[in-house]
Amino acid sequence: MAQAAQKDIMDKETKAAYDSVPYESYAYPMTFPRHTGMVASLFGIPVTPPEKARILEIGSAAGGNVFPIALQYPSADITAIDLSAVQIAQAQKQQEAMGVKNIRFIAMDVCNIDKSFGQFDYIICHGVFSWVPDQVRDRILEICRDRLTDNGVAFISYNTLPGWQFVQSLRDMMRYHIERFATPREKVTQARALLEFLRDSAPSNREWYKNIIQEELNIVSKANDSYFFHDHLEGNNTQYYLHQFVEMARKHNLQYLGDTNLPSMFVENMPKEAVEKLRSVNDIVRQEQYMDFIINRRFRMSLVVKDTAKIVRQIPQDKIFDFYLSTAMKPKDAKANLENDFAFEKLDGGGLFTTHNLQSAALFTTLYEHGARPVHADALIKEVAKKLAMTDDTPLRKILSDYAIKLALHGYINLSTDTISFTKEISAKPEIYPLARYQAQQPSVKIVTSLNGSALPVDAIGGRVIACADGKNTLDDIVRIITQDIKTGKLQIQQNGKPILNDAEIKQALETVIRNVLGKCADNALLVA
């Protein structure tokens, strides 16, 4: 009875915290079924295609993560729950404004999910597991066990050790310091101030300590207040070693499938001094645990499946032809001769992959040209064969078989179960997809979300362009609307740091800005017509 009463109190406290400081709701592409389903398929599990799937998100906040999924897969059946009635109300308001029909938002305690909810092909639980009481964590795993279909996949993220051990003391200090402050804003401000004070006051012979504080400051200075408040300062924050999480899952008849970040599972990405010893470890959990030790990992995004699912760890090379591919690399020198050694580097920096013949270079430059839109491996082969006037595509298939899976594991290309429907052509009446338009209409908009879940930064005028691109307004209409906003003082357009006031100059500048904004939208999977 006492335990139940304690749980009720904690639920009320948690609900109050999220109602008073709503968690900013974003998309997380690593949670999307097209990605988690890819990992499952890579390891031999026949998953349900997202467009036919039933999807459950636990801790949906205001729906920022499920709206891109719902809009991409209008036939999917999505249930999204959150403890905060305030955030669910925000989600429902946004849902109505966009006309999205395939999401059911429910304000409820996760512990109350029962068999009436049915079975799900995909369960998403991001940013919840470490931040709830033990009995709720157990219930989440029970739900995954009971509510997953036989080949269903559950995504669960959590703070992990050893990485969090190094900052746990800093968290304790911050929580001690903010006890005497009343409002969440004061707590966040004072917590950051304490870290700065500790960094600046650290003795010169404690450089290692100063570096730990600075590293944490680097993280929290980039984080918005709601993330910092909920993820770092709330009472519940429990961390797990990977092997502990896997054992918890096993006790609930679930097995560890892998990490959503494929390269993080691949031994060859470790420092060369560690690779040989790690290769001798033939248990995947132990192997990944040692890898966590090496890099001091602090956050994990794990996938679990039922213990009856048959996982195949040996990946055949021709498995690549089950997937759609997109690039995570770019040519180092786009003007280099494809017939010579041709180098590619990762988009996020670091790493180098070099081809040594025309066919290999043509394959991966063509993939790069597809940008954000994934292309099926077979379609890529046909496209390159046509480019090179090849009547027999066998050599191209061999190149892709030999290299593509390895490149995916090294982080040079991305795999997915399907593609994304968008256009790269700017039409006479351009149309940005509904979620981005809705976001662009909100006050002080800073980012909009693409169909693939990535965030595109926008300024005030960029947001207005996106909001106006509804498939009804022509480019001239958009110029006229924004010109009126400038004349009434709602917006300002500048050149060399000074406002443009002349009508002709405003029109000329706007035409350029609008083309640039729509071009970025086309490149980043936001333009649908």
Q: What's the pLDDT at 93? A: 96
Q: What is the pLDDT of residue 1?
A: 37
> How do residues 98-126 score in pLDDT, each as one tens digit?
999 999 999 999 999 999 999 999 999 99
pLDDT for res 21:
64
**Weakest mean pLDDT among 337-341, 358-362, 433-437:** 337-341
Mean pLDDT, range 390-400, rounded to an integer:
94
- What pLDDT score does 382 carry? 96
pLDDT for residue 162: 95
Q: What is the pLDDT of residue 81?
A: 98
**How many angstroms separate the CA atoms of 65 and 384, rounded?**
35
According to the model, what pLDDT value does residue 6 have? 40
Beta pairing class for 413-416 and 299-306:
unpaired
Q: What is the pLDDT of residues 294-336, one digit of tens each?
A: 999 999 999 999 999 999 999 999 999 999 999 999 888 877 7
| Top-tier CATH class for 317-416 | alpha beta
pLDDT averaged over every residue in the chain: 90
pLDDT-above-70 percentage for the chain: 96
pLDDT for 480: 92
> Residue 166 has what pLDDT?
82
Per-residue confidence (pLDDT) for residue 20, from 0 to 100: 58
Cis peptide before 162 (omega within 30 of 0): yes
For position 128, what pLDDT does the model report?
A: 94
Where exactly are the structural domains of the chain? 2-162+239-306, 167-233, 317-416, 434-523
Residue 327's DSSP bridge partners are 413
CB 227 within 8 A of CB 23: yes
More confident residue, 135 or 24: 135
Of 257-261, 423-427, 523-527, which has the strongest mean pLDDT?
257-261
pLDDT grade for 2, boundaries at 50, 70 and 90: very low
Q: According to the model, what pLDDT value does residue 428 have?
A: 93
At 132-181, the pLDDT tens digits run: 999 999 999 999 999 999 999 999 999 999 998 888 888 888 899 988 88
Whether 79 has a pLDDT exceeding 50, the answer reads yes
What span, in angstroms and rounded, lies between the C-alpha atoms of 448 and 436?
Answer: 5
Residues 6+ apart with CB under 8 A from 177: 190, 191, 194
Looking at per-residue pLDDT, the higher value among 173 and 7 belongs to 173
Mean pLDDT in residue range 24-35: 93
**2-162+239-306 against 317-416: fold identical:** no
Q: In Å, how far are 89, 364, 412 from 344, measured between CA atoms?
A: 46, 9, 9
Residue 19's pLDDT is 54
- pLDDT recorded at residue 144: 98
Please tell me the class of the 2-162+239-306 domain.
Answer: alpha beta
User: What are the backbone dihedrals phi and psi of residue 468, each rounded to the nearest 5 degrees, phi first?
Assistant: -80, -20
Reported as a single tens digit per residue, the pLDDT across 457-474 is 999 999 999 999 999 999
pLDDT at 147: 98
Q: Do 239 and 130 contact (CB within 8 A), yes or no?
A: yes
Question: Over the stretch 358-374, which tens digit does the pLDDT of each residue have?
Answer: 999 999 999 999 988 99
Q: How far apart are CA 248 and CA 231, in angstroms?
A: 22
